Amino acid sequence: MAERDKTSTRGTAEKLFLAGVGAASLTKERVEELADELSKRGSISPADARQTIEEVIGRWRSEATRATERAGTTLATIFRELGLVTRKEYEEIELRLAQVEHRLRLLERDRGQPPTAPPGA
């Protein structure tokens, strides 16, 4: 009998682990269903099952967030090493260039020189 309890507990733990793998996308209703199912099959209460599932979901979401942040940092480092700029940096440079061109046209107008044509004209 003790062997059966040990196997049942291990099976329940494995199911909880597997549930955690897919739990990140589970809806609240599905979490409730899963917790009830696990409590019926194992020696765990529905409340404990729900709490465990929610903890696993929280850890998975936290890990996913950290992995995303690390990937972003790594990519940014690689882009810097390759000499690439981000879209934001490119747009800032484009804006600064437009401001310089505008100021140049104003200066040329004040000196009585014919204004230079804006780019693309």
DSSP readout, 18-76?
Answer: HHHHHGGG--HHHHHHHHHHHHHHSS--HHHHHHHHHHHHHHHHHHHHHHHHHHHHHHH
User: What local confidence, expressed as pLDDT, does residue 95 receive?
Assistant: 97
Rounded distance, CA 105 to CA 112, Å? 10
Per the CB < 8 A criterion, the answer to whether 19 and 38 are in contact is yes
Is residue 32 within 8 Å of residue 50, measured between CB atoms?
yes
In the chain, what are the helix, strand and coil shares in percent, each to the nearest 5? 80, 0, 20
Selection from 118, 94, 96, 95 nearest residue 106 by Cα: 118
The full set of domain ranges for the chain reads 2-84, 85-121
Measured distance CA(22)–CA(33) in Å, rounded: 14
Give the pLDDT confidence score for residue 94 in this predicted structure: 97
Q: What is the residue-level pLDDT of the chain in tens, covering all 121 positions?
A: 444 444 555 566 666 656 655 555 556 677 777 777 877 877 778 788 778 878 877 888 788 888 888 888 888 888 889 999 888 999 999 999 999 999 999 999 888 766 666 666 5
For residues 46 and 12, what is the distance between their CA atoms, to the nearest angstrom?
12
pLDDT given at position 44:
77
Rounded Cα gap, residues 38 and 21, in angstroms: 15
The pLDDT of residue 11 is 63
Per-residue pLDDT, 5: 46
